[in-house]
Structures are given as C-alpha cells and as structure tokens.
Structure 1
Amino acid sequence: MSVRVVRLLSLLLLGACLATPALAAGKKTTHHATTHHTTTHKAESSKAKASLIWRGDVTTARAVMDDMSREWQRSGHGRIELQPFNTASGIDAVAGGSADLAGSARASDGSAEDARLTFTPVAWDALVMIANRSNPVRSLSLRQLHQIYLGRITNWSQVGGSNAPIDLYAVISPNDGVEYSLRNLLFGRGTQQISAPRLYLNTKALEEGIALNPNGLGLSTLADVRGNSKLRAIPIGGVMPTAANIADGSYPLYTPLYLVTNPNSRKATEVKAFIDFLATDKAKAVLRDHSVLPYQDGIALVAKEDARRDKVYAEATASNAKPPLAAPGASYAAAAAIAPTSERALEAHKALDARREAKATGNYTVADGDTLESIALDNHVTQAKLRRWNHLKKDEALKSGQVLRISEK
C-alpha cells in the first residue's frame, strides 16, 4: 500500500472520528433555556481560548501532550486542542495549515514535505517490544528482533517461548514514527519492508490487539504501555526499558520525540512560546511523570548517537557493517539538528543533497554503503527496473561514484 493511499485513508478516518462527537452533540436537545444558554456560553468561551491545534501520533500525545496541554493552560495560556491519530496525519496537517503543532516519534524522513518543516526534539522515549501478559519470553536479542521482522524467526519456541506462532503486529502507515525509528535502527533505513501481516492504524489499536492475543508481538513505547497490566514489555539483551536505562544508554532502543512546526505558520510566535515552555521545570516534571526523559536531561546521549547506531546495527545484522547513509533524512536528521557539525551528520547532509538532486535529474550517484535494495527503496522503484535501466547483471556489485538511472525517462 502506497504512502499516499495510507495517508488519504488516515485522513478520512480521522475526519470521521472528529465529526462523530459533533454529530452526536447535534442530536441532543436542551429543555431548559437557561441551561442551554449557559452551555453555549461555556462552549464559546472555551473555543475562544483554544489558541493552538495539535495533531499527531498517539505516542507523543500520551507521553508529552495530554498533561502538558493542561499544565500550559494552568500557567495562564490558551487551550490546546488535541487530535491524536498518527504521524502522517499530523505532519500533513501542519504542512497544510490545519494544525499548528504535530507530534512525531521520528525525525524528518528527508522528503520534500518534511524538509519545509521544523522538527524539534523535546523528550526521549524507549521503543518497547510488547507481548501479551501471559507470554513467558523473558528477553530478546537485537539479532532475534531483526530476524523476526524479516520473517526468519516465526515461532516463539525459537526465542525460548512456547511452541506457538509469533503473530507480529505493526502500524500500517509506512512513515509511522515509532515503526520508522525502530526499522531505522535495526536495518539502517526506516522504509525497510517487514513481514508483519497484522496492520493497525496506530499504536493504541495495536496494543488492544496484542492484549487479546497470547501469541502477539508488536512495537510501542514506554510512555504508551506504562501501567498497562494486559501487556508485557520484553527486555532487549536482558535490559528493561526504563527512563534510567535510557538516560545511561544501557537500553539500546530509544528515540527522541519531536514537535513538528511550520516556520511559515501565522501562529509561529505562540508555537515557539509553547516549545520554550517545555524546557521549564514544570514541564519537565510532567514529562518525568510519564516515564519519558526530558530532552535536555538526556543531552549526553547526543554524543553517543553514532556509536549507539553502529552498535545496534552491527548486533542486529550480525556483521561489522555500519548503517547505510542512503536515507540520511531518516537516519541522522535528529543528530544533524542537535549536533550539526558531527562527522556522520555532515555525511548525511551530503547524501541527502545527492538524493534530492537524483529526484530532480533522474540520476543517482552511488555512495559508500549503498546497495541496489536501498536505492530502490528510497526511490520507490523495483530492483529489477534499476537493473534493466542500467544494464546491471544480477549479482553485479555497485561502485562508489557510479551513476545510475533511477527513472525510465
């Protein structure tokens, strides 16, 4: 299913969700004029105070926005209307001007739409593999996780569990923040195709499915699943996902949470004030209550980012290879934003420029770490077409500096 189709489906469903309460309210009748007047006055007053609209993924809604919006209002600011659904709907809404802020558990993916927006990291959250509470598996390795997502490990008995199929769940949107961030770590690209036949619209629906399935396995975040007695968080390499283990880097799977804004928004001043508010002590206390790490509290993780990514990728792939730079907007956008002079970030920016030039010219110059598969994925073509357009033999290796046609024209 294409990104465009998924986004259209998401927007249609979101519109239905938002319209339902309004339709229901319209069917109600009020028998007392005084009560009706008071209710209307309160609604109008509340609407007048709604200064900002936030839309985005369920993860960022739960981890950052639910209680933060109330704290913001208690501090004398206007109300923030929350519309949790998924990453794509939030980014599209901010790009189109129908929302002022979006929530995302991934950085920019390097697309033209994302490049026009600003991704500001505000917190750190753990990427958590979740199973039904009855599941006996005590831990998974990064290698096992990699093989499960590729469909090479398919039974719980292969990882120390019962003799039962692993029912892998995922979120349907190709650019969902949580899924994208995990695949980026395990495979070096957030667009990696996986073997997950059970697809859900967001992490909330995914969690509900796993809670009912003793064989289920899926991805969520620490903030999402904390206190949910129907689910179990599975340690990675024997390390539990906790805020403390994120802070010291011992838990390997974590991601920044971002607020996405449009620099051309007519509410840019109010948006900046809210983002600045997240650095206050009051706001940090709200984040910690949700088991996430305020971004500045984990600032030491920035310096460790390249080493962390290399280690996770090497263990997951059982190799000494480094993650490819074929999708730098996804792989290193977070590091580039907060450490723009790091060596890997500069490499990423160069590779990103190359990708943009390739889309404009129809040609792509092969960089170190590129494979035919990664180039095909990034440019939404098949490997067979790339071979045909470039007269490549089936097992022919690519060379750095080689120029490939990436379109038929």
Structure 2
Amino acid sequence: MKAMKPWQTMMLLLVLLGGGNTVAQTGGRLLLSGSTTMAPLMIEVAKRFQTLHPGIEIQVQLGGSGRGVSDARQGKADIGMVSRNLGEAERDLHAIPIARDGVAMIVHRDNPVRSLSDRQLLDLYTGRIANWRQLGGRDAPLHVLAATPEGGSSELISHYLQLPYEQIKAQRRIGPNAERIAAVAADPQAVIWVSLGEAERMAAAGVPIKLLAVGGVAASSRAVRNGDYPIARPLTLVTRGTPTGAARSFVEFCVSSQITEHILAFDFVPYLD
C-alpha cells in the first residue's frame, strides 16, 4: 500500500477524531499567529476562505514561528503558523504542512559553474572565495550579492549556513526576488539566492539565469516537494488539539487544491501535485 503524504494523514485524522479547539467553537472568529514568512500567504488564503464562509472572521497576527507554537499551545490562537521543522519538545501539537519554501542559488545562464558544495557556499558568503576559477568557473571576479535581511529566504539561508545574517559578506544587498533575478541576468559574474519557485519559472520563461545544484541536489520544485533539496523548510499550521468547527473547516481548506494558486503566487511549493 502506498504511504500517505502528511496532508493526507491529517485529513484522515480530521475525519476520525474530534475535540480540541475551544476558541473556534464560539463560531465566527479565528485567530492565526506566528511566522512572518507565512503571514502574507495566509492573509490571502483567509480572504478566499471568507468568500466561501462569509460568517467567519479571520485575523492573522505576526510574531515569528516561536509565537505560533506558544500561542497555539496556550490557546491564545486557534492556529499557529510555523515556517520550520517542529522540535521534539513541540510534538504535542498537531502539525499540518501546507507547502514548502525553497531557496535557490542563481547565476547567469552563461556561467559554466553548475553546482556548489555546502563548503563552497559558506566560503562564498564569508569572503574566502573571490574568483569564479576557485569554483571551477572562468578566471573572473565574483560579484557576491545577497538578499536584504527581512525576507524569509535570508532567514533560511542564514539557518542553512549556520551563519548569522550580519556576518554574511556581500558586495550589494537587493530586496525583492524580481530585482535579484534582474541583477544576475544583467551580470555574468553575479551570484545570489532567490525564491526557488520564482527562479524556476523565470528561467523557463527565457530569463538568462541558471539555478545551481546545492550539495549534489538539483534545485527544482520537484526536489523540494520530495524533501531531497537541502535549502528548504515546511510551512506548517499547528493546533493544540484536533481542530473542530471553523478551525477544522479552515485547515481542510488549506490542505486542498483550492489554495494552490496562492501558494504559487508567493513562490512556495505546494504539497499537492
């Protein structure tokens, strides 16, 4: 028998079990709190959900994944938003993954370098590598670019490298994904990290960029979905008990294909194929 995916397991639990969320049982209000990475996505999902359930009011509050865990556990929020793997001490919570977030390293399409090891990536952003020849490329200076610190991709890269963001060395820092992609498309010596989903789509559309393999794994949405790609994390909803009432309806909505377009719009990778 084929193993069920995480979202399918949770759907089965929702059908079989009851109990749980006291705030949701009041009927028309839901509070979500936690991950700043997930919040913009969940605001749009909530808007779509409310068009189908106009009697339910949904509020989304930021505060980081840690707040999402603590608020859900203490009953301060109906649903917590967590953009990382749960720790062993957090296994008492029900976790419902709805998407994955991946970050890709990109270079110009004409750059002969095809992959980076973890060591090379760390050396690149700590200033130990200054020439593409050190990475198997041409004899040309590296133009090391970085994303600005407020984005979720910077948090993920920093965590992957085990390097505080303020210690990342770069010649220039750039904000939105689109601007980062444009910078690399215009500079054959540049390298930067961006949302994997957006980079994949822009490369397919003909923008002259290339996604580098990391740690021997090709950067692709499929690799993120399969759990093979290393610079990735789950985007998860957590509840203190098995959700009921409005919370249950919202969670069921979030693990359905009805939110796939929103997930893609925010450059995340759906769990659903």
Verify same fold: TM over 0.5. Answer: yes
TM-score of the aligned structures, taking structure 2 as reference length: 0.59
CA deviations on 1:174-212 (whole Å, 9 max, x unpaired) are x5321121121222x544511112012333322222222
1:293/1:181 CA distance change after superposition, 3 Å: same
- Name which of 201, 220, 241 aligns with 1:227: 201
1:274-353 equivalences in 2 (<5 Å): 274=250, 276-284=252-260, 287=263, 292-294=269-271
Quote the Cα distance in structure 2 between the aligned partners of 1:270 and 1:169. Answer: 44
1:303-351 superposed Cα distances (whole Å, 9 cap, x missing partner): xxxxxxxxxxxxxxxxxxxxxxxxxxxxxxxxxxxxxxxxxxxxxxxxx
Mapped to 2, the partners of 1:133 and 1:237 lie a distance apart of: 20
SS of match in other structure, 1:234: strand
Q: Deviations over 1:151-193 (max 9, x none)?
A: 10111111111111221111232x5321121121222x54451
2:152 aligned residue: 177
**Aligned partner (choices 81, 96, 102) of residue 119 of structure 1:** 81
CA-atom RMSD, angstroms? 4.5
Larger fraction in helix: 1
Are 1:202 and 2:176 matched, yes or no? yes
When residues 136 and 272 of structure 1 are mapped into structure 2, their CA distance, relative to the original with a 3 A threshold, is farther
AA matched with 1:127: V
Distance 1:108 1:148 in 2: 30
Residue in 2 aligned with 1:239?
Answer: 217
Report the AA paired with residue 107 of structure 2.
A
Can you give the 5+ residue segments of structure 2 that lack an aligned partner in the other structure?
1-30, 69-75, 84-97, 239-244
Does the CA-based 8 Å contact 2:81-2:235 persist in structure 1? no
SS of equivalent to 1:131: strand
User: For structure 1, which runs of at least 5 residues remain unmatched after alignment?
Assistant: 1-51, 79-98, 111-115, 261-268, 299-409
Letter in 2 for 1:214: P
Mapped to 2, the partners of 1:168 and 1:219 lie a distance apart of: 10
Aligned to 2:109: 133
Cα distance change of structure 1 residues 271 and 149 upon mapping to structure 2, 3 Å threshold: farther
CA 1:220–1:60: 2 relative to 1, 3 Å = farther
- In 2, Cα distance between equivalents of 1:176 and 1:271: 28
CA gap of 1:207–1:293, structure 2 versus 1, over 3 A, is: same
2:230 corresponds in structure 1 to 252
SS of residue matched to 1:227 = helix
Distance 2:177 2:264 in 1: 21
- CA–CA separation in structure 2 for the residues paired with 1:136 and 1:276: 45
Task: Specify whether residues 201 and 246 from structure 1 end up closer, same or farther in structure 2 by C-alpha distance, changes over 3 A only.
Answer: closer
User: In 1, distance between residues paired with 2:262 and 2:193?
Assistant: 24
Q: Displacement of 1:217 after TM fit?
A: 0.7
TM-score for the superposition, normalised by structure 1: 0.41
Residue-by-residue CA offset, 1:4-50 (whole Å, 9 max, x unaligned): xxxxxxxxxxxxxxxxxxxxxxxxxxxxxxxxxxxxxxxxxxxxxxx
Q: 2:167 aligns to what?
A: 193
> In terms of Rg, which structure is larger?
1
CA distance in 1, matches of 2:44, 2:185: 25
CA drift at 1:108: 4.2
2:189 and 2:43 map into 1 onto residues whose CA distance is 31
After superposition, where does 1:59-98 map in structure 2 within 5 Å?
64=41, 72=49, 75=52
Q: Structure 1, residues 65-99: CA drift from partner, whole Å, max 9, x if none? A: 79857854774659xxxxxxxxxxxxxxxxxxxx8
Query: Per-residue CA shift, 1:121-156, capped at 9, x if unaligned?
Result: 531122210112222211111111010010101111
Matching residue's letter, 2:198: D
User: For this pair of structures, how many residues does the alignment match?
Assistant: 212
Q: 1:147–1:68: structure 2 CA closer, same or farther, 3 Å change rule?
A: same
Identity of aligned residues (%): 27
Aligned to 2:21: none
Q: Residues 101 and 259 of structure 1 are in contact (CA less than 8 Å); yes or no, is this contact kept in structure 2?
A: no
Give runs of aligned pairs for residues 141-152 of structure 1, distance below 5 A. Answer: 141-152=117-128
Whichever structure has more strand as a proportion of its residues is 2
Equivalents in 2 of 1:276, 1:148: separation in Å? 43
